[in-house]
C-alpha cells in the first residue's frame, strides 16, 4: 500500500512537468521552421547544431532547452543592461558556417553526444582563435571524455584548466562570489576554461559548465519548477559570460 501511494505521488508531481515538456517539444518543431534572423541586432544568441553520435533523433542534445532558454535569457539581458538582444530565440548554426564569425558568442549543449567532421573542427578552431567565445553546457560524468576528445581535434595544443572565482569572468558584470553551483542530478558544478596559450592571464576562449545545466535553469525560470535563487545565479553566469565575450 505504501509503495502504491509513493507511485501515485510521483505521478502527480512528474506528470505536469512531462506534459509541459511535451507541449514545448511540439511547439519547438513548428518554431524550428522559422529560420534564422538576419545579422544586425546588437546581440543574437547562437546555438550550435551538430550531428549527434547517438541519442534521440526527436530531441537531439544540441537543441535541449530550445528556444525557451535563450528567449528568457535575452529578456534578462535586456532588463539589466544596455545590450539590445534579439528576443525571439536564437540563430542555429553549424561550426563550418561562415555566418558564425559574425557573432561573439556561441552555445553548445550536451557535448557527450557531440561529433564534428574536419570542416567543423577547423571552423571551431578558427572561430575561437579569431575572437569567438564558446559556452559549453549541460553535461557531466561520462560525457567529459567525448567533450575533451572533440575539443582536442580543434585545439590540440590547448587543455582545459579548472577555474575559480578569481577569474575576471565571474565579476565582469555581476559579482559572483560562490561558483559551487548546485544541480540536483549532476552534483556540484565545476567550471573549466580554455585559454590562449594555456595561460590563465590571457584571453579565455571557452568556458565549460561541467556537472550543471544553466540552460535548463533559464528554460524553466518562468514556470516555478526550480527555485528562484538558483535561476538567478544561472542568469548571473550567463550575463557575465556575454559581457566578457563582448569585451574581450
Residues 22 and 46 in one domain: no
Task: Please tell me the predicted confidence (pLDDT) of residue 120.
Answer: 98
Residues 104 and 170 in one domain: yes
- Which of 2-16, 193-207, 214-228 has the least mean pLDDT? 2-16
Q: Please name the residues in contact with 150: beta carbons below 8 A apart, sequence gap of 6 or more.
A: 111, 114, 115, 116, 121
CATH number, domain of 146, equals 3.40.50.12140
Residues 17 and 98 in one domain: no
Residues 127 and 26 in one domain: no
Residues 13 and 78 in one domain: no
pLDDT in tens, 29-76: 445 445 799 998 789 999 999 999 886 677 899 999 999 999 999 999
CB 65 within 8 A of CB 219: yes
Domain around 25: 1-34
Q: Please name the residues in contact with 239: beta carbons below 8 A apart, sequence gap of 6 or more.
A: 76, 77, 80, 81, 173, 174
pLDDT in tens, 129-183: 999 999 999 998 889 999 999 999 999 999 999 999 999 999 999 999 888 776 6
Question: How far, CA to CA in Å, does 169 sit from each of 70, 101, 102, 131, 135?
Answer: 20, 22, 22, 16, 12
Does 100 score more than 70 pLDDT?
A: yes
Residues 16 and 136 in one domain: no
Residues 227 and 111 in one domain: yes
87-108 as b/e, with b when 16 or more CB fall inside 10 Å? Answer: ebbbbbbbbbbeebeebbbbbb
Q: Count up the domains in the chain and report the number.
A: 2
Amino acid at each position: 500500500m505504501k509503495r502504491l501511494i509513493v507511485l501515485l505521488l510521483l505521478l502527480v508531481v512528474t506528470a505536469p512537468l512531462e506534459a509541459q515538456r511535451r507541449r514545448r517539444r511540439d511547439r519547438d518543431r513548428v518554431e524550428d521552421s522559422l529560420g534564422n534572423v538576419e545579422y544586425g541586432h546588437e546581440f543574437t544568441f547562437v546555438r550550435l547544431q551538430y550531428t549527434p553520435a547517438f541519442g534521440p533523433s526527436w530531441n537531439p542534445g544540441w537543441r535541449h532547452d530550445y528556444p525557451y532558454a535563450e528567449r528568457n535569457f535575452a529578456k534578462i539581458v535586456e532588463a539589466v543592461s544596455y545590450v539590445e538582444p534579439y528576443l525571439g530565440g536564437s540563430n542555429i548554426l553549424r561550426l563550418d558556417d561562415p555566418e558564425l564569425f559574425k557573432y561573439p558568442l556561441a552555445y553548445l549543449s550536451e557535448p557527450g553526444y557531440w561529433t564534428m567532421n574536419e570542416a567543423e573542427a577547423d571552423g571551431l578552431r578558427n572561430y575561437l582563435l579569431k575572437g569567438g567565445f564558446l559556452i559549453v553546457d549541460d553535461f557531466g560524468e561520462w560525457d567529459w571524455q567525448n567533450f575533451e576528445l572533440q575539443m582536442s581535434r580543434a585545439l590540440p595544443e590547448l587543455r582545459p584548466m579548472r577555474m575559480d572565482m578569481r577569474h575576471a569572468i565571474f565579476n565582469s558584470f555581476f559579482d559572483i562570489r560562490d561558483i559551487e553551483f548546485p544541480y540536483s542530478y549532476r552534483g556540484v558544478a565545476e567550471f573549466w576554461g580554455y585559454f590562449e596559450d594555456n595561460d590563465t592571464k590571457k584571453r579565455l576562449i571557452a568556458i565549460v559548465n561541467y556537472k550543471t545545466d544553466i540552460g535548463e535553469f533559464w528554460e524553466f525560470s518562468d514556470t516555478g519548477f526550480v527555485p528562484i535563487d538558483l535561476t538567478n545565479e544561472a542568469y548571473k553566469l550567463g550575463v557575465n559570460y556575454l559581457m566578457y565575450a563582448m569585451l574581450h
